[in-house]
């Protein structure tokens, strides 16, 4: 069987998006870099609305492999941006026989670009987009027995979104979290790493250019 992720169509699109990100993110990031230290989280993400902030290829492959291994047909993603991670997840859903990624993003203009990218990948049918604050968009109309939850929005909201979602994730389902080396995630990681809460959890690193990114892969027992 050929993996949808390995097709020329998807690989060429990812290569195009990573090239665009490498060329333009440093320029588009300048508005956020100029913000005062007192800027709020919303002001930061508004200034970053032209920036990909996307997962790297290694972690994308890991997410795809994890979703395939979990035979995921229902995935919830917190933090769509331009849909790079959504492409990996939707490809896995397609190769698992169908289903949906429910992905949520605060900025409507980012969602429009994500939709165009998923359409170009031929994966639009496998994604439901929700626009707004994830604490509202994920409050209702969620499927039971979610196979996989991917956390990649503002780090200070990981615990809130986990609390909102954890009863919906099925036993044997997976929670994948990105950028877990960010400050302030100690309580969140402590919660996932305490087996009394019904999880088995481990940190993992993937290479991104010359640097390593930190993630957490968690099984709901």
Ligand X SMILES: C[S@@+](CC[C@H](N)C(=O)[O-])C[C@H]1O[C@@H](n2cnc3c(N)ncnc32)[C@H](O)[C@@H]1O
Q: Which is nearer to ligand X, 45 or 64 (CB)?
A: 45
In terms of Cα–Cα distance, which of 56, 67, 65 is closest to 6? 65
Q: Which is nearer to ligand X, 116 or 200 (CB)?
A: 116
Minimum gap (Å) between residue 217 Cβ and ligand X:
16
Residue 134 binds ligand X (CB under 6 A): yes
**Long-range contacts formed by 69-73: CB under 8 A, 24+ apart:** 70/147, 70/148, 70/172, 70/173, 70/174, 71/96, 71/147, 72/96, 72/99, 72/147, 72/148, 72/173, 72/174, 73/97, 73/98, 73/99, 73/100, 73/147
CA-CA distance, 130 to 137, in Å (whole number)? 6
Residue 180 binds ligand X (CB under 6 A): no
Residue 50 binds ligand X (CB under 6 A): no
Residue selected from 154, 165, 169, 201 as contacting ligand X according to rule CB under 6 A: 154
Residue selected from 4, 66, 96, 104 as contacting ligand X according to rule CB under 6 A: 104
Residue selected from 10, 13, 55, 165 as contacting ligand X according to rule CB under 6 A: 55
CA-CA distance, 160 to 21, in Å (whole number)? 29
Q: Which is nearer to ligand X, 2 or 141 (CB)?
A: 141
Q: Which is nearer to ligand X, 73 or 81 (CB)?
A: 81
In terms of Cα–Cα distance, which of 77, 76, 78, 20 is closest to 50? 20
Q: Which is nearer to ligand X, 99 or 153 (CB)?
A: 153
Q: Which is nearer to ligand X, 46 or 197 (CB)?
A: 46
Residue 129 binds ligand X (CB under 6 A): no
Residue 173 binds ligand X (CB under 6 A): no
CA-CA distance, 190 to 46, in Å (whole number)? 30
Instruction: Say how many CA atoms lie within 13 Å of 218 toward its Cβ.
Output: 28
Minimum gap (Å) between residue 1 Cβ and ligand X:
26
Minimum gap (Å) between residue 45 Cβ and ligand X:
4
DSSP state of 133: -
Residue selected from 95, 147, 152, 166 as contacting ligand X according to rule CB under 6 A: 152
Task: Please give the C-alpha separations between residue 57 and each of 14, 162, 206, in angstroms, as whole numbers.
Answer: 9, 25, 9
- Footprint on this chain of ligand X (rule: CB under 6 A): 45, 53-55, 79, 81-82, 84-85, 104-107, 110, 133-134, 152-154
């Amino acid at each position: 069987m050929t993996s949808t992720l390995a097709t020329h169509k998807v690989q060429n699109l990812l290569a195009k998006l990573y090239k665009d990100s490498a060329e333009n993110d440093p320029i588009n990031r300048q508005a956020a870099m100029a913000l005062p230290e007192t800027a709020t989280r919303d002001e930061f993400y508004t200034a970053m609305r032209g920036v990909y902030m996307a997962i790297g290829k290694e972690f994308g492959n890991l997410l795809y492999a994890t979703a395939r291994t979990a035979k995921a047909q229902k995935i919830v993603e917190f933090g769509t941006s331009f849909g790079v991670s959504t492409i990996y997840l939707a490809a896995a859903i397609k190769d698992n026989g169908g289903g949906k990624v429910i992905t949520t993003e605060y900025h409507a203009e980012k969602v429009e670009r994500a939709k165009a990218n998923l359409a170009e990948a031929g994966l639009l049918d496998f994604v439901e987009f929700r626009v707004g604050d994830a604490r509202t968009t994920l409050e209702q109309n969620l499927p039971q027995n979610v196979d996989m939850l991917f956390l990649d929005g503002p780090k200070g909201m990981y615990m809130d979104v986990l609390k909102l979602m954890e009863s919906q994730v099925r036993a044997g389902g997976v929670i994948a979290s990105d950028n877990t080396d960010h400050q302030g995630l100690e309580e969140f990681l402590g919660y996932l790493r305490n087996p009394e809460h019904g999880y088995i959890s481990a940190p993992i690193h993937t290479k991104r250019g010359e640097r390593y990114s930190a993630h957490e892969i968690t099984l709901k027992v």
